[in-house]
Amino acid sequence: MEKNIERQTLLLRLDGDLDMKTAETLRQAIDNEIERRKVRTVILNLEKVQFIDSSGLGVILGRYKKLVPLGGKIKITNVPAHVFKIMELSGLPKIIDFYQTEAAAREEGRGAQ
Amino acid sequence: MKENQLTLSFSSLAENVGIARMLIASVGAQLDFPINDIEELKVAVSEAVSNAIIHGYRGRSGHVVLMELEIDDDALKITVSDEGCGIPDVEQAMQPAYSTDPERMGLGFVFMQSFMDELNVDSTVNKGTTVSMVKQLNRSASSPSS
């Protein structure tokens, strides 16, 4: 996992499998930054993720539910096609915004400075 | 006729879910399933095994999960069983978005159902749960059975 924080935006580049083994680590990594560093936008780059199941999807949904009441949001980028198919079946893309690139995710919603 | 069978017995530990997935991916590749089907088999197995550990054994280590594979002429049968707490109401547990935990999506059975041709759940409270799943083989082109 590769981490980058800029202002209130946390960018995580994830790799490997998002399953019950890795779900808890990911949950803690994101929640720590939300609580300690007041991160309000979380961008997850899934380019190197090879596998996702409902445990991995649950962590993403859980972070969405945590961020929304705080006025925050979660964005997902660079999803491999086979991973996207699973996400699509879960309905996640209906509530969370997906982007082709990190740059596109950063741009959107930033507004005038 | 039973052509091949494999049994994997493992401790109720999170790191073993990945090993169960590797086994089904190898078997799926050997049976010439398309890559897309192999991905789906991996998700179905991952859900069944995760359920056994998280729900059956309530996340506790020191228990045993059994994964049995049977391959015959026309189907791959996967059975995942635990001797855990069991499911009081299987029908309710299989509903989409049913989950005992807000962090989870209640999609485990939905994925198993979507990705497999047959799904059967047999559970007894305090005895355990057995999930049986069948994926049909489409090998008529490559190996004539007559």
Looking at the domain assignment, is residue A78 inside a domain? Answer: yes
For B15, nearest residue in chain A (alpha carbons) = A21
Range of the domain at A18: 2-107
Q: What is the pLDDT of residue A108?
A: 79
Looking at the domain assignment, is residue A112 inside a domain? Answer: no
Express each pLDDT in B46-70 by its tens digit.
Answer: 999 999 999 999 999 999 999 999 9
Give the gap in angstroms from C-alpha B1 to the nearest C-alpha of chain A: 33
Which is it for the CA torsion A12, B61, A53, B3, positive or negative? positive
Express each pLDDT in A36-80 by its tens digit.
Answer: 999 999 999 999 999 999 999 999 999 999 999 999 999 999 999
Q: What percent of chain A has pLDDT over 90?
A: 86
Tens place of pLDDT for every residue, chain B, 146 residues?
668 999 999 999 999 999 999 999 999 999 999 999 999 999 999 999 999 999 999 999 999 999 999 999 999 999 999 999 999 999 888 887 777 666 666 789 999 999 999 999 999 999 999 999 999 997 655 544 44
Residue A50, chain B, CB below 8 Å: the answer is: no
Residue A84, chain B, CB below 8 Å: the answer is: no
Give the gap in angstroms from C-alpha A10 to the nearest C-alpha of chain B: 20
Q: Which two tokens stand for residue B58?
A: 């309530």
Residues B46-72 as b/e (b if ≥16 CB within 10 A, e otherwise) read bbbbbbbbbbbbeeeeebebbbbbbbe
Q: Which residues of B touch A65 (CB under 8 A)?
A: 102
Q: Could you tell me if residue A38 is left (phi over 0), alpha (psi between -120 and 50 degrees) or otherwise beta?
A: left
Domain count, chain A: 1
Q: What is the pLDDT of residue A34?
A: 96
What is the CATH number for A40?
3.30.750.24
Q: What are the structural domain ranges in chain B?
A: 2-136
Q: Is the pLDDT of residue A17 over 80?
A: yes
Q: What is the pLDDT of residue A6?
A: 86
Q: What is the pLDDT of residue A112?
A: 40
Which is it for the CA torsion B6, B37, A101, A65, positive or negative? negative
Q: What is the pLDDT of residue A78?
A: 98
* Contact across the interface for B18 and A20, Cβ inside 8 Å: no
Give the gap in angstroms from C-alpha A27 to the nearest C-alpha of chain B: 10
Q: What is the pLDDT of residue B146?
A: 42
Q: Which of B85, B104, B80, B74 is nearest to B24 (CA)?
A: B80
Q: What is the ipTM of this complex?
A: 0.91
User: pLDDT averaged over chain A?
Assistant: 93
- CATH fourth-level superfamily of B2-136: Histidine kinase-like ATPase, C-terminal domain (3.30.565.10)
Looking at the domain assignment, is residue A39 inside a domain? Answer: yes
Global pTM reads 0.91
Give the DSSP letter string of B38-81.
HHHHHHHHHHHHHHIIIIISTT-SS-EEEEEEEEESSEEEEEEE
Looking at the domain assignment, is residue A113 inside a domain? Answer: no
Contact A57, A21 (CB under 8 A): no
